[in-house]
Structure 1
Amino acid sequence: MQALLDWLDGLLANNSIFTLQTLSFYGDGLTTTVQLVFLSLIIGLVMAVPLAIGRSSRHGFIKWPIFLYTYVFRGTPLLIQLYLIYYGVVFVEGIQDTWLWAIIKEPFMPALFAFTLNTAAYTTEIFRGAIKATPQGEIEAARAYGMSPALALRRIVLPSAFRRALPAYGNEVIFMLHASAIASVVTLMDLTGAARFVYARFYAPFDAFLFVAAIYLCLTFTILYFFRFLEKRLLAHLRPMT
């Protein structure tokens, strides 16, 4: 087995800078990027649904704190948020003496925290707009069937809002994938971090970064295809009949 790996390593080395060792760096970076983006999107989506409901509330003491949160995180660059969370956590008094330090001292957790808060803010506004755009006739029909406001929200408003928000949310997913490239500035070895490492080692910036760009492009088209498939399935009733 080792002989086969050495043969493949030599074959790749004769062709370009992409040896098995450098490809393993790219593989680890791809894994880190996918984990970071996937976890931040899932957690952010779970956070955004109740926040969007609260943001649509008529009560000021509920919607205004949520508005302030979304305003701050949508109005400031993600890079600044990442810096503040990554470097600011060490200034929390006594944090290094707790069990949390073993988790947050690694760059992945602060990056995940920053990305989650950022995407949750954008997703909250996406779903709030979709909830507000719910046709009044659907709500009146739910009331006519005797549904309570909570039941109508769960069975009518949220499913309908999710279908309307799907195209905008697909753009948010792609945005988060592209924004994940800044995670390498806090020493996280993601795809961009792997490209920087290869560039520093072989002094071949075009090869290193063009390869990463191709990976991002493949991931982007995969996401686009997935959301187009969802849109066709969930919005099939809106297509004109032939």
Structure 2
Amino acid sequence: MTDLTASAPPSTEKKKPGLAGILFAGFWVVVFASLAYYLAASWNSDLFARYGLPYLEGLWVTVSLVVSSFVCGAILSVPIAFGRMAESRTARVPSFLFVYFFRGTPLIAQIFLVYYGFGEFRGFLDSIGLWWFFREAWFCALFTIALNSAAYQAEILRGAIESVPKGQWEGGRSLGISRSVIFSRIVLPQAMIVALRPYANELILLIKGSAIVAIITVYDLFGITRQAYARTFDFQTYVWAAVLYLVVVEILRRLTNFAEARVTRHMQR
């Protein structure tokens, strides 16, 4: 007898949201409605006219710092990730120690070590022509965040590559394809699909974590916000900063969803 239930098409009926989902959605509706009411009721046109442009300049500093750090971290993460996967202890141990240190210590401590610690070696850095770099707070922030991001991106890349089934390598070798071509044309594209969402999450974390560079006199979005509050004592300055951060994160989230839908469209048919 034929099992009719085994060949039945999957149900496409959408599940109704439960009580917990309704309460959660209602909570956020109340939060955003309260925020919108507060901004409308306490609107300060003088504050907007005075700090609107500086806020945009601070936002540009934040975006440029995060993007530059992320790109530099992505470049550094490649040899680190391969070092983590290497069979040789000479390559594996230093890569492990790098990842262990930058993932195991707070970013703020790392920034202090670079910004204040490297000043102790000013004579040496000046002699090799690098003091111009480490005397600037923005470059110190870029250097530190790039190293921190490289540690996380190395683990993302390593995990994505190792998630590709070994059969992909074996199938390529059975066809006589070289190891480099197998990696670049077969393994890496599949790994990047797996790594897309973690990479986006890392970028979002960098955007939010970059606010701490304000403590070393980098006038990013949060640095401008602190300055505006110190001069006006208007709590609205922090609310507008939070709104701008939310806008940036939401744009990035939607771009990630779009990119993921594009690269996985062959899997959705």
Task: Compute the displacement of 1:29 (Å).
Answer: 0.6
What is the CA distance between 1:238 and its match in structure 2?
Answer: 2.2
Specify the alignment match of 1:179 in structure 2: 209
* Equivalenced residues, count: 226
| Deviation for aligned residue 1:201 | 0.9
Query: Which amino acid letter does the alignment assign opposite residue 174 of structure 1?
Result: I
Q: Kindly indicate whether the alpha-carbon contact (under 8 Å) linking 2:156 and 2:198 is maintained by their aligned counterparts in 1.
A: yes
Paired amino acid for 1:33: T
In structure 2, the partner of 1:69 is 98
Q: 1:165 to 1:108 in 2, by over 3 A?
A: same
Task: Go from structure 1 to structure 2 and tell me whether the alpha carbon gap of 1:93 and 1:188 turns closer, same or farther (over 3 Å shift).
Answer: closer
Q: Distance in 2 between matches of 1:53 and 1:227?
A: 26
TM-score, normalised with respect to structure 2: 0.80
Q: Which amino acid aligns with 1:219?
A: V
- Tell me the distance in 1 between the aligned counterparts of 2:111 and 2:135: 14
2:118 corresponds to 1:89: yes
RMSD after superposition? 1.6
Among 56, 73, 77, the alignment partner of 1:27 is 56
**Aligned partner of residue 188 in structure 1, secondary structure:** coil
Equivalent residue, structure 1, for 2:172? 142
Letter in 1 for 2:115: Y
* Unpaired stretches in structure 1, ≥5 consecutive residues: 1-12
Q: Is the 8 A contact 1:123 1:169 kept in 2?
A: yes
Find the aligned partners of 1:154 and 1:51 in 2 and give their Cα distance. 18
Within-5 A mapping of 1:109-188: 109-188=139-218
Change (3 A) 1:162 1:14: closer
8 Å Cα contact 1:56-1:131 kept in structure 2: no
User: 1:108 Cα deviation (Å)?
Assistant: 0.3
The residue type paired with residue 104 of structure 1 is F
- Give CA-to-partner distance per residue, 1:192-215, whole Å, 9 cap, x none: 0000111011111x2111001000
How far did 1:140 drift? Answer: 1.3
Structure 1 residue 238 corresponds to structure 2 residue 263: no
After the TM superposition, list the runs of 4 or more consecutive aligned residues in structure 1 that deviate by more than 3 angstroms. 96-99
Q: Quick check: which has more Rg, 1 or 2?
A: 2
Change in Cα spacing, 1:61 to 1:184, as seen in structure 2 (3 Å) is same
Per-residue CA deviations over 1:58-98 (Å, capped at 9, x if unaligned) read 22211121011001100001010011011111111512466
Deviation at 1:99, TM superposition (A): 3.7
Contact 1:187 1:193 in 2 (8 A): yes
1:189 paired residue number: 219
Amino acid at match of 2:102: F
Task: Check conservation: 1:90, 1:96, Cα contact below 8 A.
Answer: no
1:177-233 CA-to-partner distances (Å, cap 9, x unmatched) read 0001101010100000000111011111x2111001000000000110111111111
Q: Which amino acid aligns with 2:217?
A: T
Deviation of 1:151 after TM superposition, in Å, equals 2.2
Give the unaligned 5+ runs of structure 2. 1-42
> Greater shift after overlay, 226-235 or 149-158?
149-158
Give the alignment's TM-score, normalised by structure 1.
0.89
User: In structure 2, what is the Cα distance between the partners aligned to 1:97 and 1:202?
Assistant: 44
CA shift, 1:15, in A, is 2.6
Pairwise CA distance, 1:110? 0.4
Give the match for residue 229 of structure 1: 258
Give the Cα separation in 1 of the matches to 2:184 and 2:81. Answer: 13
Query: Matched residue of 1:189: which SS?
Result: coil
